[in-house]
Amino acid sequence: MSAWNYDSSWPAPAKLNLFLHVVGRRADGYHLLQTVFRFIDRADSLRFEPRNDGRIVLATPLPGVAPASDLTVRAAGLLQEASGCDQGVTIHLDKRLPMGGGLGGGSSDAATVLLALNHLWQTGLTRPALQQLGLALGADVPVFIHGRNTFAEGVGEHFTDVALPPATYLVLMPPVNVSTAAIFTAPDLPRATPPIAAAGWYPGQGGNDLQAVACARFPAVAEHLAWLQQFAPQAMMTGSGACVFASFARRNEAAAVLARLPAAMAGWLADGLDEHPLAGI
């Protein structure tokens, strides 16, 4: 039995998309993607307090987000409904990951809620069952429940796990909130990139099909990416933006570039993880 309990601080790590291709579109409008997700050691954290009134309360609402619409509250409600659980909870969210940054913060928070409350409420749902619940909240939620660095396909629910070398990432945060919907509905978004065989993918292969669209609509993303590419030509955007990143084999090399970052830009270092911190619960 895991030592995680109500006194624990539960991590919700960020992810980076090491590449992201749009390979098609379903009849229902959902885009078919291929990507590799890597977890990094930058994270939000959550704490949970038990309630005996069955209510789900978010103690730390996010600016501009109604509590009922918050992914953490919705995740807890879905788990209650799916399991028939009558327990309640107060959720405390310590937010370190930017909203609209392409780091998966909201999806990761929702996944951690499902994993934590499944454990704390002893509802007994399997990881595949939790992944199905997560998919109703967003396409990126299942990978955080899956818990492994992985090559993802479909709308983000088919996984082929990959072993990734150690790496330190320099992540820059343009001061904009990029709407995922706005990027995916853009008429100039590429939607027919030839698929890659999961077994044949290697680190460094592929780009981000969403990057040019985001750069054209958000000049700050283009500016940060251009600055980073001076030192790391392979730098790219993660997800639908806004954050951009570069991979370095040695942490001191990444730190040397970070030290040159202009005062008007914000960035930080993070190490790649071999698996999600909650992969074992």
The answer to whether residue 95 is catalytic is no
Cα 198 off chain centre by: 20
Q: Which of 4, 22, 6, 13 is nearest to 239 (CA)?
A: 22
Length of the chain equals 281
Bond preceding residue 68 cis, omega within 30 of 0? no
Handedness of CA 96, 98, 103, 109 (dihedral sign): positive
Q: Which helix (H) or strand (E) holds 114?
A: helix 105-120
Q: Which residues pair with 159 in a beta bridge?
A: 152
Cα 94 off chain centre by: 16
Tell me which of 44, 109, 140, 209 is the catalytic residue: 140
Tell me which of 7, 15, 41, 70 is the catalytic residue: 15
Backbone angles phi, psi at 35, to 5 degrees: -160, 160
Q: Which of 68, 66, 41, 37 is nearest to 55 (CA)?
A: 68
Contact, 244 vs 150, CB < 8 A? no
Provide the 3-class DSSP secondary structure of residue 147: coil
Give the residue numbers marked as catalytic. 15, 140
